[in-house]
Structure 1
């Protein structure tokens, strides 16, 4: 067989791979284009946002948009509030859901199936139905206009997906781990915090990312909890500062959105490997 014919056969054999790679590249470009356009709009004037349409290259970068978003719109304060609420919520959700998943997966008790059924049933309850009793309870406890109340409200939900991820992962771990620890005299807290929770690092990364995203982007609940305290707004609610009676500061809003997305992108890049392992491990179990 001639070298030329062999080369053509190899090319034809790889053609499906090249077509799949091209399709994925086009899909990725379409997927990330809104993010690229937002970053581009943050460096444009308000007029350029409309006149240049879908063009990603700003004429003359306007870095003052970021200064206006950070200072004049008080986005620095909103970002700090969001970090406090998000970090506290993530810690509470991870510990609480990990404990619930560990108990359901590794301990036999009466009503376990009922508990699982109730948890799954809460997936079908719209979040808007719980906002009225939640706000009423927070008001009675004196926690309505505070970051503490917001943290308790954000972390106090069922978080069924996180619990089920931990249940699936803990079920796949060998029982000899806990049995040997119990023989050595370890209690529940020791077994959970020193053995089981460290082993569940992939699931913890997954739950951290999911909870971080949902809390960071939450709008309705932080809006209700900061009606009379604008200084406690989060970044999602703080976007309203760019909407005025006579117009909207689109370039300033794009700059603020870019600032608010940087921590999310950085977290996902840092935990993406553990995130995929956690999803795969829980589904496999």
Structure 2
């Protein structure tokens, strides 16, 4: 059931890139195809490669974002007449901010859903997510105030960049990480998300015909890539001092013994 919810989440992320440019029939076909490719990707990443991805930064956010961006590149950029409607309004901003508040509150439980309760992992995942998403919230408010052209808080930036910390820590939320590192990751992705909204998104639309309706590149794609690299570095530098004897597992392959570092989902 939970894995099905995660698959639906990846599809909804992809919808964010194509809303307003597709028909309901096209969205149904897109959903059917994406669920198939999502399942294949999840099996390869989690089962075969055994990647550390407790909160689904790579499996859910990266895949969903780039799948949607690939579709929107195929669809192209809407005409100038249609682009007039591609803007936010007061009412839509208010309702969107309500959604942001709910996501902000429940993101720690989202990241820790599939985390084992052994070895303080679930509690660690919750605390890590709270620290990171709080840091990204603070940096997003500061960045949009300083970098926006109006020098005011931009609601579109705040609705999305404040959640970037939760996306970024999905890969490494259950690892033994220093609070300073977690907060740094949150601060970085919060600022990077705002910068991406201001500088990167317009260039992608002009040069690659990537019309990203809801800015999923800035909230899901970019922070999840940062989270993937962070998870890889943290896993690479892990030691027995942090995880004890469960870090290295002794495997027997044919008649030879091999040692490998399993992913934290097996620790």
Shorter chain as denominator, the TM-score bin is 0.3 to 0.5
| Greater C-alpha Rg | 1
Per the normalisation by structure 2, the TM-score is: 0.32
**Structure ranking higher in helix proportion:** 1
